[in-house]
Amino acid sequence: MGNSGSVAGDRLPVAGRSRRPVALRALAGACVIACGVSLRAQVQQWPQFRGTPRLTGVTADALPDTLSLKWTYEAPETIESSAAIAGGAVYVGAGNGDLLAIDLETGKLRWKYATGSQLGESSPAVSGDVVFIGDLSGIVHAVSSRDGARRWTFKTGGEVKSSPVVTGDLVLIGSYDTHLYALDARSGTVKWKLETSGPVHATPAIDNGTIYLGGCDERFRAIRVADGKVLFELPLGAYTGASTLVDGERAYVGTFNQDVVAIDLRARRILWRYKDPEREFPYYSSAALIDGRIVVGGRDKAVHAIDTKTGKGAWKFVTRARVDSSPAISGGRVYVGSSDGRLYVLDAATGQKRWEFEAGEAITASPAIAAGRLVIGAQDGRLYCFG
C-alpha cells in the first residue's frame, strides 16, 4: 500500500506534492503526542507489588525534591499490605480484611470489599478492571475495580501472604499450602499448580515467559509460565521471605542466612553472596535496582546498596529498627520505610539522608509511586500519601 501511494503521489502537480511532507510531519507529530500520552499513562501506574512483574521497585515517575503530606486515611487495623496505584485510585489491604479503594487525589474512600478474613502482606495487583489479592484464610479474591463487586474467589489450602502477579490471562500467587498457583484471570479456575517442599511466601517475579521464585524450602526455581514446568532449580542454603528481583540474565534475593544472593540465570549458578562484614542479620526486604547497584533493607536496621558486578557493599544507611520494607526508587532517590516508624528518602548514589517523615508506628509495607505521589501504610492503620 505504501508503494502504490507513492506512485500516485508522483503524478500529482507540484503544488499537490509539496503538501505531502507537511501532512507526514503533522501525522508524525500527532503520533509523538499520542505516544507521549500513552507513555505517561503507563508511567502513572504502580499496579502491583514492586511496580512491575520483574519486581524492580523502580519507576520513571518523578516525585518532588521535598515531599509534603497530601492526605492520610485511617483503616480499622494495621496495614502490612503494600499499595497498588492504577486509574487514579489506591488499592490496599487492611488488617481487618477490607480491600480498600481510595481516590489518589483526595484520599476519599471509593469503596471497600470485605474479604471475610484478615489481610496480611499480600498486596493488590490491578489488571484491566479487576483487583486481585489473597487473605490469611487462604482465599484469593478477584474484585471489580469500578465498584468493589466480587468477580470470583479461589480457596487454597493455606494462608496467602504472597502477592498476585498478572501475566497474560494468568494470575500467579503462592500459598502456605506449599503450592504456586496459576489461575485463570477471568474465572479463577486452576490452569496449573506447582508443589514445593515448603510454604510459598514470596511474590513470583516474571520475565520473558519465566517465573523466578525463592522458596521457604531453600530452593530457587525458574518455572515456565505456560505450564508450570520447572526449568531449573538451585539450592540457596537458606529459606527466603524476600521476593526475587530480575534484571536481564541476573536475579537477586535476600535470605535468612544473613546474605543477599546474585544468580546467573543463563549459567544457572550463584555468582556471589553479600554478607555485611560488621553485622549479620536476615534479609526480609526485596531489593530495588539502580545504576549497577541493588538496594535492600536488612534486619540489622540498615539499608544496603550492593554493587551488582562485585557483590561488595557500596554504602549503608542505618535506621533505628529493622528494615522489612522494600525500597522504591525514583529520580535517583531511595524511598523506604523502617520499623522505627519513619519513612526515609536517601540519595541513591551516596546513601545520604535527604528527608524523613515520622509516622510513629512501624512501617513494614513498601512504597508505591505513581502520578507524582508516594503512598505507604503503617502498622497503626494509617495510609499516607505524599507528593
pLDDT, tens digit (0-9, with 9 covering 90-100), for 227-282:
999 999 999 999 999 999 999 999 999 999 999 999 999 999 999 999 999 999 99
Q: Which helix (H) or strand (E) holds 5?
A: helix 2-10
pLDDT tens digit sequence for 110-136: 999 999 999 999 999 999 999 999 999
Distance CA 72, CA 373 (A): 13
pTM, two decimal places = 0.89
Residue 36 has pLDDT above 50, yes or no: no
Residue 5 has pLDDT above 60, yes or no: no
What confidence category does residue 44 fall into, taking pLDDT thresholds of 50, 70 and 90? confident
Distance CA 135, CA 153 (A): 11
Q: Which helix (H) or strand (E) holds 42?
A: helix 14-43
Distance CA 87, CA 104 (A): 9
Residue 226 has pLDDT above 80, yes or no: yes
Terminal Cα distance for the chain, rounded: 49
Q: Span 297-309, mean pLDDT?
A: 98
Please state the three-class secondary structure of 24-41 as a single string. HHHHHHHHHHHHHHHHHH
Task: Provide φ and ψ at 130, rounded to 5°.
Answer: -130, 140
Collapsing DSSP states into helix, strand and coil, what is residue 378? coil
Residue 90 has pLDDT above 70, yes or no: yes
What confidence category does residue 76 fall into, taking pLDDT thresholds of 50, 70 and 90? confident
Strand partners, 269: 264
The C-alpha cell 535506621 sits at 319
CA 103 from centre of chain: 20
pLDDT tens digit sequence for 352-371: 999 999 999 999 999 999 99
Pick from 295, 264, 301: nearest CA to 281: 301
